[in-house]
Amino acid sequence: MRVISKPNEMQTNVESLRNEGKKIAVIPTMGYLHEGHTSLIRKGRELADIVITTLFVNPTQFGPNEDFEKYPRDFARDFQLAEEAGTDFLFNPVTEDIYQDGYNTLISISGITDKFEGASRQGHFDGVATIVAKIFNITKPHYAIFGQKDYQQTLVIKQLVRDFFFDLSVVVAPTVRESDGLALSSRNVYLSPDERTKAVILFKALDEAEIAIQKGENRRKILNAILHNAIRSIPEIKIDYACAADADTLEEPDVFLPGEHVILMIAVFNGITRLIDNALVTIPQDPQVKKHYFV
């Protein structure tokens, strides 16, 4: 595995590889890798000849009161995990090379960013879209691989790819979980032992709502209530949002129809740590009980 820190050096290498007919996959990360990230690297290994993993804690996607300064960083650990998972190039730039003196451009995507994470973290998706566009221009991939855990982010990136005619495929891989259901996240390291135990309520809440859907519940407000009530069983956990929405548009209809894809999304504060999770569910054509078509 080769480590590259300079954007122009990375560009030169990928241009040569593309000229040789090699297919390239990129896995953008902020480092502090875990099994969720390595599963994305392995997916890239399946799809492409060359796998590039990026490590960059992007300052423009953090708000003024968020955890940019204390976000966990461990290059030696990341190097080992990335290499073991099958990375060919580890792109590890410094901030000054990504946001050079005089840099004055941010990409802002509207609509899909107006609610949920976009509403709670003002400017977050501007930073995400900007750094991802930069990574695409630097690494010139055929495939860009992201995890479902950041579901709204995947929709933003798909919009970015469409709007800017990036010639690549966005691949969304399933969320990787601990044995008790907690979604893997670099921020889980912030949790105390007690908070870690309580954090599993996110998965349980999603599971309860998914079971309700399979039994025929398709009213958005009822699904939202199921999520809220489950999380409120742990009073210390504070809900930012917990809701059901159309998986493609994030619109919030009163009723979801058979065959429609629904995303169940949760964001909470567990102590000082903000956690997110989601589940993608299809409204069944033949539920176990009669569906509700009216609120």
To the query of whether residue 37 is one of the catalytic residues in this protein, the response is yes
Q: What is the pLDDT of residues 34-92, one digit of tens each?
A: 999 999 999 999 999 999 999 999 999 998 889 999 999 999 999 999 999 999 999 99
pLDDT tier for residue 288 given thresholds of 50, 70 and 90: low
Q: What is the pLDDT of residues 133-156, one digit of tens each?
A: 999 999 999 999 999 999 999 999
pLDDT value at residue 295: 40
Question: Active-site residue among 34, 37, 124, 261?
Answer: 37
SS3 sequence, the chain?
Answer: CEEECCHHHHHHHHHHHHHCCCCEEEEEECCCCCHHHHHHHHHHHHHCCEEEEEECCCHHHCCCCCCCCCCCCCHHHHHHHHHHHCCCEEECCCHHHHCCCCCCCCCCCCCCCCCCHHHHCCCHHHHHHHHHHHHHHHHCCCEEEEECCCHHHHHHHHHHHHHCCCCCEEEEECCCECCCCCECCHHHHHCCHHHHHHCCHHHHHHHHHHHHHHCCCCEHHHHHHHHHHHHCCCCCEEEEEEEEEECCCCCCCCECCCCCEEEEEEEEEECCEEEEEEEEEECCCCCCCCCCCCC
pLDDT value at residue 200: 98
User: What whole-number percentage of the chain has pLDDT above 70?
Assistant: 97
Q: What is the pLDDT of residues 201-245, one digit of tens each?
A: 999 999 999 999 999 999 999 999 999 999 999 999 999 999 999
Going along the chain from its start, the domains and CATH numbers come out as 2-173 (3.40.50.620), 186-282 (3.30.1300.10)
User: What whole-number percentage of the chain has pLDDT above 90?
Assistant: 95
pLDDT value at residue 3: 99
pTM above 0.85, yes or no: yes
pLDDT value at residue 292: 45
Q: Does 290 have pLDDT greater than 70?
A: no
